[in-house]
Amino acid sequence: MPRLRSVFLAVFLLALFAHPNLVAQEKKYYFYKPAQTRGSDAQFSPLTLFINGSFDALRLSPDAGRDLTSFKWKTDFHNVWENLASPIGNIRAYGWENFRRQELLNLSLDVEELQFLPNFADHVVGYGMQYVKITEWYDAHGYSSPILWGAGTSLLYQFMNEMVQNGGARYVNVDCIADVYIFNTLGFVLFGFDGVKRFFSETVQLNDWSLQPLYILRNHHLENAGQEFVVRYPLPFDERYAPFLCWGVNSVAGLSYRYDDENSISVGFGNSVAGMTQKERGEFLSATPNLEPAAGLFWDDKGSLLAGLIARGRSSYNVQLNVYPGLVTLCGIRPGCYLSFGGREKLVFGITFMSLPVSPGFKR
């Protein structure tokens, strides 16, 4: 336990000292947009980050797996904690070569050996950006020590994310070791440099398109919680057009068109992860994603997602629509909504609000 506390303290201090500019220089927000009044950026807060970040993996679960009362929270906590407490011993038991190929890097095109891709895309780039964004949120809202608050919030949801992915079992879990000690830490450090933040906020325009969680009281399901990221690069000969890549559970690539000073429409095609298949590697477990084709249509205001439509599926056609608060006004209220239907999601609907990190929903 003392060794684990020491490692977490080291990660925490790295996050603090890698991000000095908010206190040492004139304030400049790279990813948080205080003036934004509509869309995903206007909805962003510590609570929305915690819920979307913690429960992102629920989208990969079968229907019954989204029941929050069915989780073995104590088992998940202890298994993640114990793996993080003895990273070298657990990696040695799993096999250093297996760990390298599965979690770090390999040149295989086999989908069963590409688990390292989300480690770089999500944990380094996505989580690194969100660490900066939540730190800027705390600063904009007048919190003292915003870097401390930002690092604490990030570490909390990242640990919770590993618990949700653990699956209620006791086993050697090298995925959480790689995520926490290598990739999350690399994200903290990398996004501590102003040059990196400028590159991802100005040159290639990285944005957070997280979802709108719904709680279904009837069966205690949490629906539509998750993180999606998007990056765009405006073409130098015509900046109205920009190739884009949106990734997360739904990963699509295509083209954005900015039709005025603020608004853009994006269309893309790619794959969606419809679930995970657990496979045994000797006495250990590994998970392989089940991919289905997907298409996406998005409308955003300077990177703040106003509405997003995802159609996916091969065996079970499925459509998901997120309309974010601020787009329409009804009787002085600016609600949003989430609607999904199809063979996999059945029918899920809810009205969302700017001030609620989780909104009530209906599921049939």
Contacts of residue 88, defined as CB under 8 A and 6 or more positions apart, other chains included, come to none
Q: Are 359 and 346 in contact (CB under 8 A)?
A: no
Average pLDDT over residues 345-361: 92
Strand partners, 244: 232, 254
Residue 126: per-residue pLDDT: 97
3-state secondary structure of 364: coil
pLDDT per residue as tens digits for the range 255-265: 999 999 999 99
pLDDT per residue as tens digits for the range 186-231: 999 999 999 999 999 999 999 999 999 999 999 999 999 999 999 9
Residue 321: per-residue pLDDT: 97
- Token duo for residue 60: 């990969």
Smallest CA-to-CA distance from 324 within 361, 362, 298, 294 is with: 298
Q: CA dihedral defined by 262, 304, 215, 352, rounded to 10 degrees? A: -30
pLDDT per residue as tens digits for the range 145-188: 999 999 999 999 999 999 999 989 899 999 999 999 999 999 99
Q: Greater confidence, 294 or 276?
A: 294
Sequence spans of domains, the chain = 2-26+39-363
3-state secondary structure of 363: strand
Smallest CA-to-CA distance from 102 within 151, 190, 189, 172 is with: 172
Residue 289: per-residue pLDDT: 75
Q: How many whole angstroms separate alpha carbon 289 and alpha carbon 285?
A: 13
Average pLDDT over residues 302-317: 87
Residue 295 has pLDDT above 50, yes or no: yes
Residue 165: per-residue pLDDT: 92
Q: Greater confidence, 139 or 110?
A: 139
Residue 13: per-residue pLDDT: 56
Average pLDDT over the chain, rounded to an integer:
88
3-state secondary structure of 168: coil
Q: Are 180 and 159 in contact (CB under 8 A)?
A: yes
The percent of residues in the chain predicted with pLDDT above 90, rounded, is 69
The continuous run of DSSP H or E covering 148 comes out as helix 146-166
Q: How many whole angstroms separate alpha carbon 89 and alpha carbon 179?
A: 16
Q: CA dihedral defined by 198, 200, 206, 212, rounded to 10 degrees? A: -70
Residue 280 has pLDDT above 70, yes or no: no
The distance in angstroms from the start CA to the end CA of the chain is: 45
Residue 270: per-residue pLDDT: 96
Average pLDDT over residues 89-115: 76
Average pLDDT over residues 313-318: 72
In this prediction, residue 102 has a pLDDT band, given cuts at 50, 70 and 90, of confident
Q: How many whole angstroms separate alpha carbon 42 and alpha carbon 326?
A: 8
Residue 20: per-residue pLDDT: 45
Q: How many whole angstroms separate alpha carbon 327 and alpha carbon 255?
A: 23
Whole-angstrom CA distances from 232 to 100, 244, 266, 343 are 30, 4, 10, 32
Residue 68 one-letter amino acid: L
**Own/partner pairs for 317-321, CB < 8 Å, 24+ apart?**
317/342, 317/343, 318/342, 318/343, 318/344, 318/345, 320/224, 320/345
Q: Are 30 and 136 in contact (CB under 8 A)?
A: yes
pLDDT per residue as tens digits for the range 12-69: 555 555 554 544 445 789 999 999 999 999 999 999 999 999 999 998 887 767 899 9
Tally of CB atoms within 10 A around 68: 15
